[in-house]
Amino acid sequence: MTRICVFPGDGIGPEVVREALSVLRTVEEVSGTRRFETEEELLGGASYDAHGVPMTERALSLARSSDAILLGAVGGPKWDQLPFEVRPERGLLELRKTFGLFANLRPAKVYGPLVDASPLRRELVEGIDLLVVRELTGGIYFGEPRGVRMIDGVETGCNTEVYARPEIERVARVAFELGRKRTGRVTSVDKANVLETSVLWRKVVTEVGEREFPDVALSHMLVDNCAMQLVRSPRQFDVIVTTNLFGDILTDEASMVTGSIGMLPSASLGGKVGLYEPIHGSAPDIAGKGLANPLAMILSVAMMLNYSFDMTEEAALIENAVGKALADGYRTGDIYREGPGIRRVGTSEIGDKVRRILLDTT
């Protein structure tokens, strides 16, 4: 029996996780190849409200004993005034650190029926299928020293960007391996004209490429230019590898290029246990109203089947079912545009549609 730790989290997290788990059960039914045991625990703001910490030892123990982790979303304005060390996001950062999840894979794909949901012109976005590999456990989010303190009588905030050669090498290898399986192209994004960490980043990525992946074409791009190019000509990209901070920003930009942040899943890999979550936040303004788009969470389950369990056929079934649901005109509010055959539906309705399509494949 394969064991999955489930953290529904905050806001819309429990709603989208519920639909994703129902899809997973449907995959069990139609494939008959593997059974999944799931167990839920609190994380983030929900954990703080119940226990005073963003993640308990019990929750961490459950994650350690599992084969994969599914996470809905954490955080929200309700907890913004908490001390930094107990904010909901600290639970997620602790998971990344504990399990060595140094490589965050964030695909940005435009489904044909959603081309017109993008704020960009159809001819720019049609056919986009790129993958950002974001370094996840280093850089400015983890560097020391950090904090807010008085320096010479002036309140001063400090964060430190730090990267060591082994950190860069391992995430570069992930990007090159994925690039080799796709179109044979990798773009490394940095700020080498200003930052010493980026000078080292560019040097190490180049060396790994030349030494271990001579068959993969490598190009370098400054992050400000990359941000512009994602809007100007997004189809030029296949695999992008970049730092923690730059990856965080660029993937949110890529999500809007594709039409909605509610469509994009992610996988965080590196250790024995992978973590899978949508890249969107907890959206507390629509929580509990049945309006959330669960497709990013459902596609995160597909990534889990693919990367943690080598169930590529089952992952493809989910991805195809999502595409078919969109082709049949099902839209949650974030991707809704009026048109012939287009139906505005809620969270459970589009989840039900994906499940029915999966059942019809047998």
Q: What digits encode the pLDDT tens for the residues 78-113?
A: 999 999 899 999 999 899 989 999 999 999 999 888
Domain boundary among 200, 234, 258: 258
- With 0-12 CB in 10 A as exposed, 13-18 as middle and 19+ as buried, what is 362? exposed
Residue 110 inside a domain? The answer is: no
d(CA 122, CA 242): 27
Domain boundary among 227, 258, 289: 258
Reading the block at residue 113, the tokens are 């029926």
Least confident of 31-35, 64-68, 77-81, 314-318: 31-35
At residue 323, the pLDDT reads 94
Domain boundary among 228, 258, 288: 258
Residue 224 annotated as catalytic: yes
Do 139 and 46 share a domain, yes or no?
no
Residue 151 inside a domain? The answer is: yes
Q: For residue 15, give the amino acid letter.
A: E
At residue 362, the pLDDT reads 63
Do 243 and 289 share a domain, yes or no?
no
Range of the domain at 26: 1-104+261-362
**For 13-28, what is the mean pLDDT?**
97
Catalytic residue among 111, 190, 191, 353: 191
pLDDT band (50, 70, 90) for residue 262: confident
Q: What average pLDDT is seen over the chain?
A: 95
CATH number at 239 reads 3.40.718.10
Residue 191 annotated as catalytic: yes
**For 236-241, what is the mean pLDDT?**
97
Q: For residue 94, how many other CB atoms are within 10 A of its CB?
A: 17
Residue 116 annotated as catalytic: no
Catalytic residue among 10, 190, 248, 334: 248
The number of domains in the chain is: 2
Write phi, then psi, for 291 (nearest 5 degrees): -105, -15
Rg of the chain, C-alpha, whole Å: 20
Q: Name the 3-class secondary structure at 276.
A: strand
Residue 109 inside a domain? The answer is: no
Q: What's the pTM value of the predicted model, to 2 decimals?
A: 0.91
Write phi, then psi, for 99 (nearest 5 degrees): -100, 10
Do 73 and 170 share a domain, yes or no?
no
At residue 215, the pLDDT reads 97
Do 152 and 242 share a domain, yes or no?
yes
Residue 184 inside a domain? The answer is: yes
Do 241 and 277 share a domain, yes or no?
no
pLDDT at residue 251 tops 80:
yes
pLDDT band (50, 70, 90) for residue 31: confident
Do 265 and 254 share a domain, yes or no?
no
Residue 41 inside a domain? The answer is: yes
Instruction: Tell me the percentage of the chain whose pLDDT exceeds 90.
Output: 85
Residue 113 inside a domain? The answer is: no
At residue 120, the pLDDT reads 85
**For 177-202, what is the mean pLDDT?**
97
Do 69 and 129 share a domain, yes or no?
no
Catalytic residue among 129, 238, 252, 352: 252
Catalytic residue among 224, 285, 310, 360: 224
Catalytic residue among 48, 141, 307, 330: 141
